[in-house]
A and B are shown apart, each in its own frame.
Chain A
Amino acid sequence: MRKIPAPQALPESLPFWQAADQGRLLLKKCNACGRVHHYPRDICPFCLAEDTAWVDATGTGSVYSFSTMGKGEDAYTLAFVTLAEGVTVMSNLVDCDPARVAIGAAVRVVFKPSHSGHAVPMFTPVEAQE
């Protein structure tokens, strides 16, 4: 299994990682322009307002693109997932056979422990749960 490198959390994104440890996916929303952004930051990248707040994401979305690299136990799948809130985030597709995943597949968030660090949000196809 590939070791998941621990995220180097900066103070302004620490709440994201603390929430991930509790199994919650947070996003940043700007109170000035109303838009959600990712990665989270203190200042809104759309309007530069400093009035940004954490919101709970639904944790559901769809696969925008993905690619599997590596062989056997070391294989992993990098992906972009478009969340219900409208932002597309980099992640991994996990707990599934990526050869059976297609762009557009519905996914939901799962949290995986990193190597001696915060938990990391990843995504799994919704169908794989049935």
Chain B
Amino acid sequence: MSLNGKACIVGAYEHPTRLAENRSVLRLHADVAKGALADAGLAKDDIDGYFCAGDAPGLGTATVAEYLGLKLRHLDSTECGGSAPILHVAHAAEAIAAGRCNIALITLAGRPRAALAEAQARAAAAAADGRPAKAPLALKAPDPDAPELAFELPYGPATQNLYAMVAKRHMHEFGTTSEQLAWIKVAASQHAQHNPHALLRKPVTVEEVLASPLVSDPLRRLDCCVMSDGGGALIVTRPEIARELKRPQIVVRGTGEAQKHGMGGQVDLTYSAAAWSGPRAFAEAGITPADIQYASLYDSFTITVLMQLEDLGFCRKGEGGRFVADGNLISGQGRLPFNTDGGGLCSNHPANRGGVTKVIEAVRQLRGEAHPAVQVPGCAWALASGIGGALASRHTAATLILERL
């Protein structure tokens, strides 16, 4: 079943906070849910479908539904990391098309930055008292039933060095340079200067990116996304209901999802799962990458953006470095404006996963509600793409193509 035209996004809301002190994860989910309902002009009891992923506390859908007093007839807690909310839009469209719900709410929220600050304060207090200080960084204990971990954890994989290995291999195979990667941060920072909520608002130069400290060779600090709290929510409904609401109609045209993993040892770091999710979404939408006027690309690192540009077909494999150079991603200047809110690289990356903000900025662009300095004139077609997990190991990809009617 094609999902083209089966659902519309009628509500979108991004939490303004970047540091959620004294605010629980569940409160953040509630904040963004309320914001998206207000944006859509809908009431809580209109919601009959709810979608969340691993960032939601407790029993996910059930825990959030209890906190908000929701009465649901469709639940989905598909967990696939940072790409989850993008894929949830497709799953919501599917559920709506199947008649399983009419108005679906999707939320993502978290407070890793505040939690880290609290853990560091506890460790400092413990050290001052002469008690042993626990290391505050581990987010989740390793699952003893995951057989692959024995063959990975002894070697110290972290998000940074896993993505760095992708960057290094890309440089080796295609001659991609650190200067080219830096252009991705430069473009994001050019956009972020217009976002009052962005964590990094000062435009940076290629030279400044290259002068920032090495995090994991060849990735530098300014190749990485920010760490932030916050979140966002979306409301998806059927076109008949969307037409009654007083919001621009943002129609789901194409969706694609895919996953990639170690493949029994047949490791190839030159492409991501977006190489599969992208063509599926474009086929469903019946358009090509040349038709896309604005792209929200998951930007945990600069290399993540480069890989998606190639895998989604905006340029040929290996030519991503040349594609991003000289400001080609900067709105008003380049051929493909991306992440006009500053993205994860400069604005926020709530819950260490940013998928929902990708859809929110795409919706803003299609509605003409992006900041005037970065708004793409007459934006009718936008794409949102997410990567969940880590590029060099198991990960998921979700691609969403939207049209403003």
Contacts and interface: CB of A to CB of B under 8 A. Distances in A.
B164 A87 contact: no
Interface string A78-92: 111010001111111
Contacts of B149: 8
Interface string A60-73: 00001111110000
Interface string B127-153: 000000000000000101101111111
Contacts of B216: 67-69
Given A8-B150, A67-B164, A89-B265, A2 B156 contact: yes
Given A12-B147, A39-B148, A78-B161, A66 B266 contact: no
B266 A80 contact: no
Interface stretch (B71-79, B85-93, B166-174, B377-385): B166-174
A49 interface: no
Contact of A92 (B156, B215, B266): B156
A97 to B, nearest CB: 13
Contact of A13 (B150, B155, B161, B392): B150
Contacts of A9: 150
A17 B267 CA distance: 22
B180 to A, nearest CB: 18
B262 A39 contact: yes
Contacts of A69: 156, 158, 160-161, 164, 215-217
A41 B267 CA distance: 17
Interface bracket on A = 35 or more
A10 interface: yes
Query: Interface range on chain B: under 10, 10 to 19, 20 to 34, or 35 or more?
Result: 35 or more
B5 to A, nearest CB: 38
B157 interface: yes
Nearest to A83: B265
Given A8-B144, A78-B165, A64 B264 contact: no
B315 interface: no
A45 B263 CA distance: 8
A86 B263 CA distance: 12
B204 interface: no
Given A13-B147, A41-B147, A78-B161, A87 B266 contact: yes
B154 interface: yes
A7 interface: yes
A103 interface: yes
Nearest to A46: B264
B154 A5 contact: yes
A64 B169 contact: yes
Contacts of B215: 69
Contacts of B262: 38-39
A35 B27 CA distance: 51
A66 B168 contact: yes
A16 B142 CA distance: 20
A29 to B, nearest CB: 11
A38 B148 CA distance: 9
A6 interface: yes
A64 B170 CA distance: 11
A4 interface: yes
Nearest to A44: B264
Interface of B: 142, 144-145, 147-158, 160-162, 164-166, 168-169, 172, 215-219, 262-267, 269, 392-393
Interface of A: 2, 4-10, 12-13, 17, 35-39, 41, 44-46, 64-69, 76, 78-80, 82, 86-92, 98, 103, 114, 120, 122
Per CB-CB distance, the 3 closest pairs between chain A and chain B, nearest first, are A87-B265, A67-B164, A38-B265
